[in-house]
């Protein structure tokens, strides 16, 4: 399966077809509402607003696999993100990013990232995917979204 063949349900239940991402640069992030890195939502939203018209798409995948830091349901998550950070980029239904129940997207990303030791280390791990649907770079949870502008601009060029 390729990146553009994927399809996942958004937090609101609507289906999201990855074929619409052709020729776009995509930043994929596994998110959580009760994490020390949760304030990164603000930086992610800022990147979304700044670069969406140039072809950047940010996709948030809530995940509860790390210390139960995403305990709410999808409605709770959407409300939290909107009220606290004004998030307007797509948020998906909760997913697993590690283990046998990991979604196909994360299996694909991990297969392409030779430096990754087969597991996502924590919430807010970021993956930058190029216009060709291939992984460009993975960023650790500690990397603030604001510092990704150079890589995003290079990918958009």
Residues with a catalytic annotation lie at 35
In whole angstroms, what is the distance from residue 4 CA to residue 101 CA? 21
In whole angstroms, what is the distance from residue 68 CA to residue 70 CA? 6
In whole angstroms, what is the distance from residue 120 CA to residue 81 CA? 22
| Structure-block tokens of residue 119 | 């597991």
Pair 113, 98: CB distance under 8 Å? no
| Structure-block tokens of residue 72 | 């709410």
């Amino acid at each position: 399966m390729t990146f553009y063949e994927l399809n996942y349900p958004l937090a609101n239940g609507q289906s999201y077809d990855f074929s619409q991402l052709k020729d776009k640069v995509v930043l994929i992030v596994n998110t959580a509402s009760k994490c020390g890195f949760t304030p990164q939502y603000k930086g992610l939203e800022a990147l979304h607003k700044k670069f969406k018209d140039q072809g950047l798409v940010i996709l948030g995948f809530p995940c509860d696999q790390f210390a139960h830091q995403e305990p709410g349901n999808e409605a709770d998550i959407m409300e939290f993100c909107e009220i606290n950070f004004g998030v307007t980029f797509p948020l998906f239904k909760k997913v697993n990013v590690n283990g046998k129940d990991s979604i196909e997207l994360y299996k694909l990303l991990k297969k392409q990232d030779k430096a990754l030791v087969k597991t996502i280390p924590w919430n807010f791990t970021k993956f930058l995917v190029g216009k060709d649907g291939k992984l460009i770079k993975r960023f650790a949870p500690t990397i603030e979204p604001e510092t990704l502008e150079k890589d995003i601009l290079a990918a958009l060029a």
